[in-house]
Amino acid sequence: MPEVQLRKKFTAVEEIFHEGGPVSSVPLRRAASLAVIHNPFAGKYVEDIAGFMDDLKPLGLEMARALVAALGGDGKTVEGYGKGAIVGAAGELEHGALWHVPGGYAMREVLGDAKAIVASTKKVGGPGTRLDVPITHINASYVRSHFDSMEIGLADAPRADEILLALVMTTGPRVHARVGGLRASEIKGEDGLR
């Protein structure tokens, strides 16, 4: 399989103090790590692409570690995560699906024993395309306070023969979460759902 050719990395960190309501004693932090890589399958139909998932593993780990560092360095503070990909015009949606395994397992590995499936989304688009990366609790997908999202994108990516890969982590619930549902304090932590 081809090696991963990285054009650019990008990190965004949001620190949210309030959204019109009471100022939170602990600000919510959201971070996104983006990587723009060459799409080795661009411009043609390639049947056998799955091996590229292994090639992406080191990049996934690098991005997951960068996220923990961007959020202060302690993986225990991370409560939510998500991932996404934007495939350039000469690629297909399936190329974005290559990110599920290396992106998701990298975050689980770095965070220890995260149990929940990593929420994800993907699309094909041009430079400047925005992606709303979904976020859920790392141990129980049904925790309602942690349903969140973070918009990501880059003005100059993905070019036609590129893929923009994204990982996102958060440190807590929405800043004014108050619509009930399963709470983080009620997680059983057995099945990754509740």
Q: Does 93 bind another protein (CB under 8 A)?
A: no
Nearer to another protein (CB atom), residue 11 or residue 74: 11
Amino acid at 116: A
Output the smallest distance, CB 147 to another protein, in A: 16
Q: Which two tokens stand for residue 61?
A: 């780990």
Nearer to another protein (CB atom), residue 10 or residue 142: 10
Stretch that binds another protein, among 4-12, 43-51, 56-64, 114-122 (CB under 8 A): 4-12
Amino acid at 124: V
Q: Does 17 bind another protein (CB under 8 A)?
A: yes
Binding to another protein (CB under 8 A): which residues in 101-140?
130
Output the smallest distance, CB 15 to another protein, in A: 4
Q: Which two tokens stand for residue 150?
A: 């973070």
Cβ 64 vs Cβ 109: under 8 Å: yes
DSSP state of 89: T
Nearer to another protein (CB atom), residue 4 or residue 118: 4
HSE toward the beta carbon, residue 11, CA cutoff 13 A: 13
Q: If residue 59 lies in a helix (H) or strand (E), which one and from where to where? A: helix 52-70
Nearer to another protein (CB atom), residue 49 or residue 66: 66
Q: Does 19 bind another protein (CB under 8 A)?
A: yes
Q: At what angle do helices 100-110 and 52-70 cross, to 10 degrees?
A: 40
Site string for another protein, 153-172 (x = CB under 8 A): -xx-----------------
Cβ 63 vs Cβ 194: under 8 Å: no
- Candidates 1, 13, 26, 46; binder of another protein (CB under 8 A) is 13
Q: Does 90 bind another protein (CB under 8 A)?
A: no
Nearer to another protein (CB atom), residue 14 or residue 74: 14
Strands (E), the chain: 6-16, 28-38, 80-87, 119-124, 131-137, 148-152, 162-170
Q: CA dihedral defined by 72, 75, 78, 83, rounded to 10 degrees?
A: 100
By the criterion CB under 8 A, which residues form the site for another protein? 5-19, 130, 151, 154-155
